[in-house]
Amino acid sequence: MQEIVKKGIYKHFKGDYYLVEDIATHSEDNSLYVVYRALYGNNELYIRPLEMFASLVDKQKYPDVKQTYRFELQDIKSVNKSY
């Protein structure tokens, strides 16, 4: 399973981008959840089980998808050259 980076920007295999806000622990069973925010529309906040967030794309269901993982970390460079 891939490591999830807090404050990282991830691309969903269907094309939209999300900011991982944090990793949360369920108070009853200690399972882990990714807390992430849509970088479009109303910037809604979502949660998803960590294992599902970090899972592989189902290539049988989506054979034409190029991404390996359901969500993939993006390496976004600054457009400001003065840094």
Comparing CA positions, the residue from 6, 67, 69 lying closest to residue 33 is 6
Q: What is the pLDDT of residue 24?
A: 98
Question: What is the C-alpha separation between 9 and 19, in angstroms, rounded?
Answer: 5
Q: What is the pLDDT of residue 61?
A: 95
Q: Which domains does the chain have, with CATH numbers?
A: 9-73 (2.30.30.320)
Q: What is the pLDDT of residue 83?
A: 57
Q: What is the pLDDT of residue 15?
A: 96
C-beta neighbour count of 10 within 10 angstroms = 22
The pLDDT confidence band at residue 82, using thresholds 50, 70 and 90, is low
Q: How do residues 18-45 score in pLDDT, each as one tens digit?
A: 999 999 999 999 999 999 999 999 999 9
Question: What is the C-alpha separation between 47 and 68, in angstroms, rounded?
Answer: 21
Q: What is the pLDDT of residue 81?
A: 72
Comparing CA positions, the residue from 68, 60, 63 lying closest to residue 12 is 68
